[in-house]
Amino acid sequence: MKWLVTFFETGVGKKLLMGFTGLFLILFLVVHLVGNLQLLKDDGGEAFNTYAHFMTTNPLIKVIAYGNYFFLLLHAFVGISLAIYNRKAKGKRNAVAFKNPRVTWASQNMALLGMLILAFLFMHMGDFWFKMKTGQLNVVDYGNGEVKDLFSAVSASFKELWIVIAYVIGQIVLAYHLWHGFQSAFQSLGVNHIKYTPFIKQFGKWYSILIPLGFAILPLYYYFFK
Amino acid sequence: MGLNLKLKVWRQKNNKDEGHFEDYQVKADEDMSFLEMLDVLNEELVHEKKEPVAFEHDCREGICGACSLVINGRPHGPNAATTTCQLHMRHFKDGQTIVIEPFRASTFPVIKDLVVDRSALDRIIQAGGFVSVNTGQAPDGNSIPIEKNRAEHSFESAACIGCGACVAACPNGSAALFTSAKIRHLGLLPQGKVEEGTRVANMVAQMNKEGFGMCSNIGACEAECPKEITLQNIAYMKRAYIKATFSGE
Ligand code: SF4
Ligand code: FES
Q: Residue B84: which domain range? A: 2-112
Judged by its nearest atom, the ligand closest to the C-alpha of residue B165 is 1
**Cα distance between residue A132 and residue A119, in whole Å:** 19
**How crowded is residue A209: how many other Cβ atoms within 10 Å of its Cβ?**
13
Q: Are residues B15 and B105 in the same domain?
A: yes
Q: Given CB atoms, is A184 within the 8 Å cutoff of chain B?
A: yes
What pLDDT is recorded for position B135? 84
Last residue of a domain, one of B92, B112, B132: B112
What value does the CA radius of gyration of chain A take, rounded to a whole number of Å? 20
pLDDT at residue A132, rounded to an integer: 82
Please choose, from the candidates B160, B197, B55, B173, the residue with its C-alpha nearest in 3D space to the C-alpha of residue B114.
Answer: B55
Residue in B104, B227, B228 to alter for ligand 1 test, most ligand atoms within 8 A of Cβ: B227
User: Mind listing the pLDDT tens digit for each residue in B185-234?
Assistant: 999 999 999 999 999 999 999 999 999 999 999 999 999 999 999 999 99
| CB spacing of A11 vs B214 below 8 angstroms | yes
pLDDT at A158 over 70: yes
* Chain A residues close to B234, C-beta within 8 Å: 187, 192
User: At CA B95, angle to CA B94 and CA B98, rounded to 5?
Assistant: 100
> Quick one: pLDDT at residue B249?
66
Hey, which of B170, B225, B232, B234 would you mutate to test ligand 1's pocket, going by the most ligand atoms within 8 Å of its Cβ? B225
The Cα-based distances of B178 to A98, B51, B202, B232 in angstroms read 21, 33, 15, 12
Residue nearest to atom 3 of ligand 2 (CA): B62
Dihedral of alpha carbons A34, A40, A42, A43, sign:
positive
- A88–B236 CB contact, under 8 Å: no
B148 and B236 both lie in a single domain: yes
HSE-up (13 A, CA, CB side) for residue B85: 16
User: Contacts of residue B75 in chain A, CB cutoff 8 Å?
Assistant: none
**Which residue from B74, B101, B214 is facing A86, i.e. has the nearest CB?**
B214
Contact between B55 and B42 under an 8 Å Cβ cutoff? The reply is: no
Q: Which of B69, B67, B178, B62 is nearest to B120 (CA)?
A: B178
Same domain, B104 and B150: no
Q: Which helix (H) or strand (E) holds B27?
A: strand B20-28
**Residue that finishes a domain, picked among B112, B130, B163:** B112
Note whether B46 and B130 are same-domain residues. Answer: no
Instruction: Please choose, from the candidates B223, B176, B238, B218, the residue with its C-alpha nearest in 3D space to the C-alpha of residue A181.
Output: B218
Q: What does DSSP assign to residue A129?
A: I
Q: Do B104 and B130 meet the contact criterion of CB atoms below 8 Å apart?
A: no
pLDDT, residue A134, reads 82
Nearest to A89 among B107, B220, B242 (CB): B107
Chain B residue whose CA is closest to A191 = B235
* Residue to substitute in B33, B61, B69, B118 for testing ligand 2 pocket (most ligand atoms within 8 angstroms of CB): B61
Q: Are residues B124 and B23 in the same domain?
A: no
Q: What is the pLDDT of residue A1?
A: 85
Find the ligand nearest to B61 CA.
Answer: 2
- B142 and B106 in a single domain? The answer is no
Binary contact (A96, B70; C-beta < 8 A)? yes
B114 within 8 A of B102, measured Cβ to Cβ:
yes
Q: What is the mean pLDDT of chain B?
A: 96
How far is Cα B61 from Cα B162, in angstroms, rounded to an integer?
A: 14
Question: What is the CA angle A172-A178-A182, rounded to 5?
Answer: 165
**pLDDT given at position B23:** 98
Residue type, A178: L
Which domains are delineated in chain A?
A: 15-225 (1.20.1300.10)
Residues with CB under 6 A from ligand 2: B 57-60, 62-67, 83-85, 161
- Residue B155: CB atoms within 10 Å: 12
- Cβ atoms of B184 and B233 within 8 Å: the answer is yes
Q: Based on the domain organization, do B81 and B127 belong to the same domain?
A: no
Helices (H), ranges, A91-196: 105-108, 110-124, 130-133, 150-157, 161-188
Quick check: CB of B177 below 6 Å from ligand 1? yes
Cβ distance of B238 and A89 shorter than 8 Å: no
- Does residue B1 surpass a pLDDT of 80? no
Give the whole-angstrom CA distance, residue B62 versus residue B64.
6
Residue A89 near residue B212 (C-beta atoms within 8 A): yes
**In this structure, are B183 and B128 located in the same domain?**
yes
CB proximity B21 to A under 8 Å: yes
Residues B157 and B199 reside in one and the same domain: yes
Same domain, B42 and B145: no
Average pLDDT over residues B42-71: 98
Q: What is the nearest CA distance from A28 to chain B, expressed in angstroms?
A: 22
For residues A144 and B115, the model is more confident at B115
pLDDT, mean of residues B150-165: 98
Tell me the DSSP string of A15-38: HHHHHHHHHHHHHHHHHHHHHHGG
> Of the candidates B112, B139, B172, which is a domain's last residue?
B112
Cβ-contact B23, B10 below 8 angstroms = no
The size of the A-B interface in CB pairs under 8 A is 130
Question: What residues does B23 pair with on adjacent strands?
Answer: B8
Please identify among residues 118-157 of chain B the ones whose CB lies closer than 8 Å to any CB of chain A: none
Confidence bin at B141 (pLDDT 50/70/90): confident
Q: How many domains does chain B have?
A: 2
Same domain, B218 and B107: no
Which of these, B129, B102, B132, B131, lies nearest to B118 by C-alpha position?
B102
- CA distance to partner chain A, nearest, from residue B89 (Å): 20
Answer yes or no: do B95 and B16 share one domain: yes
